[in-house]
């Protein structure tokens, strides 16, 4: 692995990136038998074994992904200055990289949203190397996501990294963002019928207990409650989605679930959009 590159991004972002190697796996009482065809994915810094994989697995160092994303951003000056947020999860076994473009703004009902590129990868084989381009709603310092995933990719680790995949995802996503901003305005105008409100909960990735918590949770910035808005027939798809992403961001404790639940919420709303007149 490229130690200088890793140290550069550690210093730049104030993070501690794993130094990963592939080591042979030995077993037996001594141990003296080698597991042919398999290797351990190990962090040299602390000896943590992330997982065991086949020989054909190709580790994608996080520092290489950061470098590719850096290059894609630097070659896109028209998007303005980028704001980076990097999360290392479970001792660095997973990583999520968010790059937001705050200079590109789109207002909806007083809310401001920005384009955002998200990249995910892992050393424990839990996540494929993948990315998606969507939107970012400025509600608080932690941020909430809302809107539509415009461009995305998924790639297996046995294949090499390709800068063009990131570049195309970024630029295709930005084109779609510019073309489809009307989606959010439509969501802000669509009021949620009570029947549809109950139906959509069946497909949302939340338990009955979490539903109770969400309905008792005031919306940040307004202190409004879901049931009150629904009773007054003033609950829009935009607001409903904001409540859900607020809960996912601030009340779901598992960082892994936070990352995985976001696209499930968006997909559910997209499926129900056509049913609301």
Q: Which of 128, 153, 180 is the last residue of a domain?
A: 180
User: Are residues 41 and 131 both part of a single domain?
Assistant: no
User: Are residues 16 and 112 both part of a single domain?
Assistant: no
- C-alpha to C-alpha distance for 28 and 232, rounded to whole angstroms: 68
Q: Which of 180, 205, 233 is the last residue of a domain?
A: 180
Residue 83 pLDDT? 93
Residue 147 pLDDT? 47
- C-alpha to C-alpha distance for 235 and 35, rounded to whole angstroms: 58
Q: Is residue 25 part of a domain?
A: yes
User: Are residues 173 and 216 both part of a single domain?
Assistant: no
- C-alpha to C-alpha distance for 57 and 39, rounded to whole angstroms: 9
- C-alpha to C-alpha distance for 128 and 260, rounded to whole angstroms: 12
Residue 154 pLDDT? 67
Residue 183 pLDDT? 66
Q: Is residue 207 part of a domain?
A: yes
* Domain around 41: 3-54
User: Are residues 86 and 163 both part of a single domain?
Assistant: yes
Structure tokens at 97: 């990289």
Residue 100 burial (C-beta neighbours within 10 Å; 0-12, 13-18, 19+): buried
Residue 31 pLDDT? 73
User: Are residues 31 and 71 both part of a single domain?
Assistant: no
User: Are residues 197 and 106 both part of a single domain?
Assistant: no
Q: Is residue 59 part of a domain?
A: no
Residue 221 pLDDT? 75
Q: Is residue 60 part of a domain?
A: no
Helix, strand or coil, per DSSP, at residue 22: strand
User: Are residues 217 and 117 both part of a single domain?
Assistant: no
User: Are residues 165 and 250 both part of a single domain?
Assistant: no
Q: Is residue 185 part of a domain?
A: no
pTM of the model: 0.67
Q: Is residue 219 part of a domain?
A: yes
Number of domains the chain contains = 3
User: Are residues 209 and 228 both part of a single domain?
Assistant: yes
User: Are residues 28 and 49 both part of a single domain?
Assistant: yes
User: Are residues 147 and 44 both part of a single domain?
Assistant: no
Q: Which of 162, 180, 198 is the last residue of a domain?
A: 180
Length of the chain: 277
For the chain, which ranges sit under pLDDT 50? Answer: 140-144, 146-148, 158-159
User: Are residues 111 and 200 both part of a single domain?
Assistant: no
Helix, strand or coil, per DSSP, at residue 151: strand
Q: Is residue 237 part of a domain?
A: yes
Q: Is residue 43 part of a domain?
A: yes
Residue 142 pLDDT? 41
């Amino acid at each position: 692995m490229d130690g200088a590159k890793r140290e550069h991004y550690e210093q730049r972002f104030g993070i501690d990136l794993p130094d990963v190697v592939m080591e042979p796996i030995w077993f037996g009482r001594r141990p003296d038998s080698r597991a042919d065809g398999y290797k351990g994915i190990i962090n040299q810094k602390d000896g943590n074994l992330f997982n065991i994989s086949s020989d054909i697995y190709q580790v994608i160092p996080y520092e290489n992904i950061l470098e590719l994303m850096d290059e894609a951003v630097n070659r896109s000056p028209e998007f303005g200055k980028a704001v980076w947020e990097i999360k290392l999860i479970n001792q660095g076994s997973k990583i999520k990289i968010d790059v937001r473009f705050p200079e590109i703004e789109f207002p909806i009902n007083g809310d401001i949203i920005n384009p955002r590129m998200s990249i995910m990868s892992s050393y424990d084989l839990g996540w494929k190397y993948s990315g998606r381009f969507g939107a970012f709603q400025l509600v608080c310092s932690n941020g909430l996501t809302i809107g539509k995933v415009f461009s995305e990719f998924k790639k297996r680790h046995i294949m090499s990294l390709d800068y063009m995949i990131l570049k195309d995802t970024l630029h295709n996503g930005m084109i779609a963002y510019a073309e489809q901003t009307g989606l959010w305005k439509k969501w802000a105008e669509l009021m949620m019928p009570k029947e549809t409100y109950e139906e959509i909960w069946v497909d949302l990735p939340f338990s009955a207990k979490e539903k109770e918590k969400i309905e008792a949770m005031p919306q940040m910035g307004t202190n409004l409650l879901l049931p009150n808005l629904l009773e007054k027939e003033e609950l829009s798809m935009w607001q409903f989605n904001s409540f859900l992403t607020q809960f996912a961001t601030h009340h779901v404790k598992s960082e892994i679930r936070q990352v995985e639940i976001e696209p499930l919420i968006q997909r559910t709303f997209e499926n129900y959009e056509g049913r609301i007149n």
